[in-house]
Chain A
Amino acid sequence: MLNELDDFDPHVDDDGLDATLQRVESELVSRGAHVAPCGRSSVHHRGVEMLMLLQGWQQSPMVQVAGILFAAYRSTGERPAVFSLEERELVREIVGEQAEQLVYASSSAESLPERGPDLAVLEVADAACTSGFDGAPAPWLHRASLFGASLRATASAPPVFENCTATVAPDAEAALLNAYSRAWRGGLADAGAVDALAGAAEAAPWVAEPFVVLGLHALAAQDTDRAAACSERAIALLRAWNNAWDKRLGAVEWLGIAQMLERSSRLASREHSFLAARIASALQIAAGRPEVLQARLNSLDLIGTATVEPPLPRVAASVEEEEWEGWSGFDLLPPRFAKYIAGLRDNHDSPAMPWYPDLDARTIWDVLELDIVRDLHARAADIAAECAAIDPARFESAAGIADLGPDWRIVPLVRLGSHCPSLSGLPAVADVLRRYSELRRVGSFAFVGRLAPHSDTVPRRGPSNLQVQCMFGVDVAGASGVTVDGIRERFRQRGCIVVSESAIRSDWNDSDREQVVLIVQLWHPDVTADEVTLLEGLARHARARGESVSKRAAKPAAAMLA
């Protein structure tokens, strides 16, 4: 191991890259680079931004490492130096000989395209990370395109400016900046602004955001074809840059808006006016600020999460789309649910599809994220008293319920979304549970459980990642708790722990007495109410179809018997 590390050189060894980057970041942070201002952010953040860009452009590990330390020896108006020139040996030790030379070269006051392709790539990346003080676009396209031009026909040319074959004239860039700014300022009221932006964007068609703005205006005017065409160009440019030109929003956020524009082309015609009105209203409210526009569109649930990976194949051919006029609401499904449904194409091995896509996977949850926990804590004394007062004789075996096993005895309070009679004797518990409509959903349950002394239940795992379990300690004075993916969590007296249903877990009680716990099953905190509704609808559909098939299968047998 020692030899492997000693011999590490980031430009030849991908495996060692992470270790080097960690070391570099540590060094940067220890020198205060995370608080040293650089443009709108910190020196450290700029380095990380450079790194992300260079990784997106598939540059060599050596260039990536040099990127995070770009101009680290140089102090400019924009950023302070991180290392002194006397520390070159230290930097060499951290990043290797070649990367250090590149860092040194990038620190030179005079940086020219002729000084080598690696340095040119870094200069393009550095330019792409700059912005105005508020994140608005700054003039850097001309300079970056000149550096890019020096990379023409080389393997390291970033996929921008049409693979570095084009350059941007200063006046074209200035015109683009002016038109872009005017389009945001003027909004829908300035009819000439959109035309001006269209002209400027065609003259310098190398960044995405002008096309997003044009697409939004086109959509507001119900021109979905143009909106889709603009979105296509914007998406391609965003993916090429891997960064935003207008940094008032992140690249992923711009991508989200562009993807919404793209989806709009697949809407049924009667939905166009509905969407157009909302886009127009959002543009008006935004008053020139992209971040407000994005927040507005988000609040209208129009954007969803941008899909950074290649989109799913289209569901239907154009002919079929015409036949299914009126069903284009499919495109407005929450992206996660759409992705989940797309799993039906390939669910031969796992027809139940237990894994809902793109949910944050955590074994143990921050209890404060769940509003119900606050309510349980607020009424902890009453709830604990009520649950503790339940006659132990009323507890029944938990066998067959949520795979709890024989060490648990329970009194059910909510079963399959229906409130059980026992809940009526627990007014404080009922008051809290009734506030959460999700506990009236199919599949929800809540119960008070007693865990036997000196028990350690068989490890189990819930049927999907869609739910979490909140465990409120009613009387857990002894050492007891739950082991979740190998981590032992103790039950909290009159407090909660929340564990993921999809984690492997077992309950343990090392004490001599039964431990009493209130357990409530909840939806994953990130699953929206709309998704719950859709999932329930899907479950109803599956159940109805199953019953229908069963009936049909039973008919011949009945006939034969008759």
Chain B
Amino acid sequence: MNIHRRLRGLIPIAFYRGATEIQVGWGKPLLIREMPMMGWATRGSEELVTTDLGVLFEYAETFDDAKFVGAIIHVSRCGSTALANAFKAVPDTLVLSEPDILCQLVRERAWRGADVPDDQRRELVRGFLGAVVKENSATNVVVKCSSMSTITLDQTLRYLPRVPWCFLSRAPADVIASLERIPGMWLKTQAVRDRILLMIGRESTHTSDAERSRDLYAFLLERFYVAAMEHANGDATFIDYSSFGLDTVCEVIGQTLRRSLDDSTREAIATSLQIYSKAVVRKPFVPSESIERRTGYLELDAVYDRYLRFIEDFAARRCFASVVKPSREPAPQPA
């Protein structure tokens, strides 16, 4: 039987280490359009089909690169999900939000990246996209990367097909406060947090878990901002949380999709921005809520200041109206 018939209805969900080679696990997507965050789960292990990497290479050959229109890179807790949802509000646009398998492909092995040869990663990313698109007809595909992919941003950009990418940032004090209130899934346990501290080669001088975690958040954010500045290129756009709003989002979306948005699409985006979609109890998205400007981490605060100046200069240098400068605009009000 043609293996591709067996894969009908399934998408790649994970890599497995087989006896001799890497295997790709295929499972049923969970309501991928409505719930892209978790679109990579299976409906149960009985649906799991495994193939070798060759199948992904076949899908790479069928993937039309023109469909892949943009990537969202971010620092966490900065409106990236809201932007992804706003993209989702545009008809014919499929948003793949932090798909695990893709994040593994663009990350280095040390950062839980897939154990596949580097020279195959780009084709495997295309194969992944081709395999997902076979189940989700869409004119445009946008990918939201996980914030950990920002640490190795050069690699992330190298392995994605060349596309516009939007970097979302937020004042580090706000991000840290948010992470302390509800730790991100990717930093859920103290053991993981301590391991990442070791991996980024920074040492916390504190003994309490809370303070060590705070150190980690600060160090990571510093890395994120530095990476964004180092790798900013002609494909980049920046949105800082302080300037996040309907107009900036519509501008970025229009630029990414290379078309002007009609009124109904803008309306759909406005509606999506008013809803933060991760929770059943939805909260209005209010970017003007800033807690404290300074973090107390001198280096981090200095890097963020430098970053803000950088993105202003970047906008001016490119003489490109659609580069978003950090300026306040009225936040959308909840319905």
A residues within 8 Å of B by Cβ? Answer: 1-2, 5-6, 8, 19-20, 22-23, 25-26, 29-30, 34, 40-42, 44-45, 48-49, 93-94, 250, 360, 363-364, 366-369, 371, 377, 484-490, 492, 495, 525
Contacts and interface: CB of A to CB of B under 8 A. Distances in A.
Contacts of B38: 22, 25-26, 29-30
Nearest to A34: B41
Contacts of B117: none
Nearest to A48: B44
B46 interface: yes
Contact of A45 (B43, B58, B92, B281): B43
Given A34-B41, A484-B137, A487-B139, A23 B280 contact: yes
Given A44-B44, A45-B46, A488-B139, A369 B185 contact: no
B134 A44 contact: no
B64 A492 contact: yes
B18 interface: no
B138 A487 contact: yes
B42 A34 contact: yes
B8 A366 contact: yes
Interface string B16-60: 000000000000001100110110111111100000000000110
B45 A42 contact: yes
B137 A6 contact: no
Nearest to A49: B44
A344 to B, nearest CB: 30
A491 to B, nearest CB: 10
Given A29-B30, A44-B41, A250-B46, 19 more contacts: A1-B275, A2-B275, A2-B282, A20-B280, A22-B31, A26-B41, A30-B185, A42-B44, A44-B42, A45-B44, A48-B43, A366-B4, A366-B8, A369-B2, A369-B8, A487-B139, A492-B62, A492-B64, A525-B5
Interface of B: 2, 4-5, 7-8, 30-31, 34-35, 37-38, 40-46, 58-59, 61-62, 64, 66, 91-92, 134, 137-139, 185, 275, 279-282, 284, 334-335
Contacts of A19: 280
A53 to B, nearest CB: 13
28 contacts: A2-B275, A6-B281, A8-B280, A19-B280, A20-B280, A22-B38, A25-B41, A29-B30, A29-B38, A29-B41, A30-B38, A34-B41, A40-B45, A41-B45, A44-B42, A44-B44, A48-B44, A93-B279, A360-B8, A364-B137, A368-B62, A369-B8, A371-B2, A485-B137, A489-B64, A492-B62, A492-B64, A495-B61
A2 B277 CA distance: 11
A364 B30 CA distance: 20
Q: What are the 8 A-B residue pairs with the smallest beta carbon separation, nearest first?
A: A45-B44, A29-B41, A368-B4, A366-B134, A26-B38, A41-B45, A487-B137, A364-B137
B137 A368 contact: no
Contacts of B275: 1-2
A94 B280 contact: yes
Nearest to B278: A26
Nearest to B138: A487
Nearest to A366: B134
B8 A41 contact: no
Contacts of B334: 2
Contacts of B46: 41, 45, 250
**Chain B CB within 10 Å — which of A34, A45, A367, A489 has the most?**
A34
A364 B134 CA distance: 8
Contacts of B59: 368
A22 B35 contact: yes
A495 B7 CA distance: 20
B281 A5 contact: yes
A369 B4 contact: yes
Contacts of B30: 22, 25, 29
A467 to B, nearest CB: 17
A485 B138 CA distance: 10
Contacts of A42: 44-45
A368 B58 contact: yes
A366 B127 CA distance: 13
Nearest to B38: A26
Nearest to A47: B44
Nearest to B59: A368
Given A30-B38, A49-B44, A369-B5, A2 B137 contact: no
A484 B139 CA distance: 10
